[in-house]
Amino acid sequence: MLYIGVDLGTSAVKLLLMDENGDIKNIVSREYPLHFPKPGWSEQNPEDWYNGFMDGTKELIKDCDKSQIDGISFSGQMHGLVILDEKDQVIRPAILWNDGRTQAECDYLNKEIGREKISSYTANMAFPGFTAPKLLWLKKHEPENFAKIKKIMLPKDYIAYCLSKVHCTDVSDASGMLLFDVENKCWSKEMLELCDLKEEQLAKIYESYEVVGTVTEEIAKELEIPTTTKVIAGGGDNAVAAVGTGTVGNGMCSISLGTSGTVFIVNDNFAVDDQNALHSFAHADGKYHFMGVMLSAASCNKWWMDEIIKTKEYGNEQAGITELGQNNVYFLPYLMGERTPHNNPNARGAFVGMNMGTTREDMTQAVLEGVAFAIRDSFEITKSLGVNVERIRIAGGGAKSPLWCKIMANVLNVKVDKTNSEEGPAFGAAILAAVGCGKYSNVEEATKKLISIVETTEQDAELVEKYNVKYNVFKEIYPALKDVYEKMV
C-alpha cells in the first residue's frame, strides 16, 4: 500500500509518497505567496494551500498504482487562524504563526487575566503567534468577521476538511491554539468563555494517528484514488517532524533548523515549567512534549546569503569558515521578533562586535553561531528542569550543513545524529498515515522500524569550552538591547 504525507509549510506545500516499507517513491512541492499587509503582519489565502495540494498531489501520484493509495496525513504550520462561515467558506485570509499584531491581546491575557491562570487552563502562556490572541484581535478590529464565524480551523485542518468534509483537528496542533486543555486533551471552557466562543465553533479533536474520515467522491474522482482512501488527522509541524526523525519515546530530543527553529523533548507524562518559557504540548505519538521555539533559524542564513551578500552558493560561503570558537562577532537572530525565551515580537536582528578587521566569513559564522546560541537558550531551560540530553536528532534545511551541525554539537555539548530521512515533516505525516491505516500498531513501533541513524557529529571538549565562554557573552546582549527595541517600535 501507499501513503501520502503532506507538509503544509509557510512558503510551500511538500508532498511525499511512501510505501509500507518506508521507501520514498516521490516528492513534489508547490510554492504559494505570503502576504505582509502591514509591518509585522503575515497572512495567506487558504485556497492557495488547497490548490497547491491538489496540483502537487496529481503530479506526486501520476506514475503510481493509484488503487494502492491507502491514506493521507498531514504536518501543518501551527497556530494559523482559519475561519469559515455557515457555508464553510473562508471569511478572510488566514493570520499566520509568525504574525506579530496581537501583543496587546497577549498582554491582556498574561497580565490582566494572569499568566498563571492562563497556564492553568492551557499549560501555556499567551504568545503573539498563538490562535486565541488572534481571535481576540479579530473581535476588536474586525467584529463583522468575528460575528460570521461558524468554524475555527488550523491550516492543515482546512485541507483535511476539503478532502473529507470533516471539521477536525489533532491534539498536537490544538495545543498551540491557547484554547486547548493540554493535560486533559479537550477544549478549555474557561478559554472559550474568555474569547467569547462556543465549543461547537471548534473542530472535533483526534489523536494525530487517528482516522477522521475518507476522501469525498469528488476528491476521489479528481485525484483518481479510491473512495476508501483514509484521511488521518496528522499534527503540528514540529510534532510531526519529530515523528519523521524518530523522536518518539520518553527523553528523546530533536532540533529542527527550518524557517523557525525548535528544541523538542518528549515526555511520557504531562508537565509544565514554572515560568512557561517552554511550550507544553501534546505529542503526535499520544504522549506529551516540551518545546522551545525561535521564530527565525535557517531563515536567518537564507536572509544573509540571499538578500545581503547575494549568493546562492551556501556551501562555498561556509567553506571559508575554519576557526570555530574564536569569532568575536555576535549575531542576534531575531529577524521576526522572538518567542522562546524572550517572548518579544519587537526584538530584531543585530550584529555586535564588528571592527575594521571583521570579514565576510566572520559575519557568516556569526549568523550560524547566533542561531545555535538562541537554540541553547531553550536547552538551558530544559537543564533547569532536570532533563539531561546527551544526544539530539537534527532535521530541517539547516541540518544539511555539516558546519552548522558541528557548531550545534559544540554549542550544546551533545552528539548530533542525522537519520536516514531528511524529509522530517512530510515523512512523519506519511508514517502517521500508515499507523492510521493499521500498518503499524503505534507510532513508536513504526519509527523504530522505519528510521535509523546514518551519521553522528560528536562534540570536541576544547570547542565546547570556547563556546561556553562565547555563549555567556551572547546571553548578555539581548538584555542590553531590550529597551532599545521598545523605542524602535
CB 236 within 8 A of CB 175: yes
CATH number of 2-238: 3.30.420.40
pLDDT score of 89: 98
Rounded CA separation 253/278 (Å): 14
Tell me if 79 is assigned to a ligand binding site. yes
How many other β-carbons are positioned within 10 Å of the β-carbon of residue 320?
12
The least confident of 12-16, 313-317, 445-449 is: 313-317
Q: How sure is the predictor about 120, in pLDDT bands with cuts at 50, 70 and 90? A: very high
pLDDT score of 134: 98
The whole-number average pLDDT for the span 151-156 is 98
Query: Smallest Cα–Cα separation from 150: which of 112, 182, 197?
Result: 197
Rounded CA separation 132/179 (Å): 6
329 pLDDT exceeds 90? yes
The whole-number average pLDDT for the span 300-328 is 92
CA R_g for the chain: 22
Task: Give a three-class secondary structure readout of the chain.
Answer: CEEEEEEECCCEEEEEEEECCCCEEEEEEEECCCECCCCCCCEECHHHHHHHHHHHHHHHCCCCCHHHEEEEEEEECCCCEEEECCCCCECCCEECCCCCCCHHHHHHHHHHHHHHHHHHHHCCCCCCCCHHHHHHHHHHHCHHHHHHCCEEECHHHHHHHHHHCCCEEEHHHHHHHCCEECCCCEECHHHHHHCCCCHHHECEEECCCCEEEECCHHHHHHHCCCCCCEEECCEEHHHHHHHHCCCCCCCCEEEEECCCEEEEEEECCCCCCCCCCCEEEECCCCCEEEEEEECCCHHHHHHHHHHHCCCCCHHHHHHCCCCCCCCCCEEECCECEECCCCCECCCCCEEECCCCCCCHHHHHHHHHHHHHHHHHHHHHHHHHCCCCCCEEEEECHHHHCHHHHHHHHHHHCCEEEEECCCCHHHHHHHHHHHHHCCCCCCHHHHHHHHCCEEEEECCCHHHHHHHHHHHHHHHHHHHHHHHHHHHHC
Residues in the chain: 489
Rounded CA separation 360/355 (Å): 12
Give the 3-state secondary structure of residue 289: strand
Annotated catalytic sites, by residue?
237
The grid cell for 127 is: 504568545
pLDDT score of 322: 87
How many other β-carbons are positioned within 10 Å of the β-carbon of residue 406?
20
pLDDT score of 124: 95
pLDDT score of 277: 84
Q: Domain ranges for the chain, please list them.
A: 2-238, 248-420+459-489
489 pLDDT exceeds 80? no
Q: Which residues touch 84 (CB under 8 Å, ≥6 apart)?
A: 90, 91, 149, 150, 151, 152, 153
pLDDT score of 394: 92
Tell me if 488 is assigned to a ligand binding site. no
CA-to-CA separations, 58 to 54, 222, 297, in angstroms, rounded: 6, 9, 32
How many other β-carbons are positioned within 10 Å of the β-carbon of residue 428?
38
The whole-number average pLDDT for the span 89-111 is 95
The whole-number average pLDDT for the span 311-322 is 89
pLDDT score of 98: 87
The least confident of 1-5, 190-194, 394-398, 483-487 is: 394-398
CB 178 within 8 A of CB 184: no
| 2-238 and 248-420+459-489 in the same fold | yes
Q: What is the pLDDT of residues 272-311, one digit of tens each?
A: 888 888 999 999 999 999 999 898 999 999 999 999 999 9
Place of cell 562555498: 316
The least confident of 157-171, 181-195, 273-287 is: 273-287
Query: Smallest Cα–Cα separation from 299: which of 260, 247, 271?
Result: 260
Give whichever of 12-16, 127-131, 310-314 has the largest mean pLDDT.
Answer: 12-16
Q: What is the pLDDT of residues 420-478, one digit of tens each?
A: 887 889 999 999 999 999 999 999 999 999 999 999 999 999 999 999 999 999 999 99
Q: What is the pLDDT of residues 385-426, one digit of tens each?
A: 878 788 999 988 899 999 999 999 999 999 999 998 878 899
The whole-number average pLDDT for the span 198-207 is 98
Domain 248-420+459-489 in CATH 3.30.420.40? The answer is: yes
- Give the distance from CA 62 to its chain's centroid: 30
Q: How sure is the predictor about 362, in pLDDT bands with cuts at 50, 70 and 90? A: very high
Q: What is the pLDDT of residues 252-268, one digit of tens each?
A: 999 989 888 989 999 88
Q: Is the pTM of this model over 0.85?
A: yes
Percent of the residues in the chain that have a pLDDT greater than 90, as a whole number: 85
CB 411 within 8 A of CB 388: no
92 pLDDT exceeds 80? yes
In DSSP terms, 418 is beta-bridged to: 455
